[in-house]
Amino acid sequence: MILEPFQYALGAVSGGLVGFTLGLFGGGGSILAVPLMMYVVGVPSAHLAIGTSALAVAANAFVNLIGHARLGNVKWRCASIYSVAGVVGAFLGSTAGKLVDGQKLLILFALLMLVVGAMMLRKRNAEGNPGAQCSRENAPKVIGFGALTGVFSGFFGIGGGFLIVPGLIAATGMPILFAIGSSLVAVTAFGLTTALNYAVSGYADFLLAAIFIGGGVVGGLLGAFSANHLSERKGALNTLFALMIFAVAFYMLYRSADALGLLTA
264 located within any domain: no
Is pLDDT above 80 for 10?
A: yes
Cα torsion 98, 49, 51, 171 to 10°: value is: -90
pLDDT of residue 30: 65
d(CA 120, CA 127): 12
Average pLDDT estimate for 179-198 = 83
Is residue 178 included in any domain, yes or no? Answer: yes
What is the C-alpha separation between 64 and 52, in angstroms, rounded? 19
pLDDT tens per residue, range 116-163: 778 777 765 655 666 677 777 888 888 998 888 888 777 776 656 677
Say which residues have a Cβ less than 8 Å from residue 253's Cβ, sequence separation at least 6.
Answer: 107, 110, 111
Nearest Cα to 141, choosing from 114, 115, 174? 174
Q: Which range of residues forms the domain containing residue 105?
A: 5-259
Alpha helices in 98-235 (DSSP H): 102-122, 139-156, 161-172, 176-200, 206-230
Q: CA dihedral in degrees (214, 215, 221, 222; nearest 10)?
A: 170
CB proximity list for 262: less than 8 A, separation 6 or greater:
none
Question: Does the pLDDT at position 32 exceed 80?
Answer: no
Tell me if 232 is assigned to some domain. yes
The domain total for the chain is: 1
Q: What is the pLDDT, as a whole number, of residue 102? A: 64
Residue 265, in any domain of the structure: no
pLDDT in tens, 56-88: 888 878 887 888 888 888 889 888 999 899 888
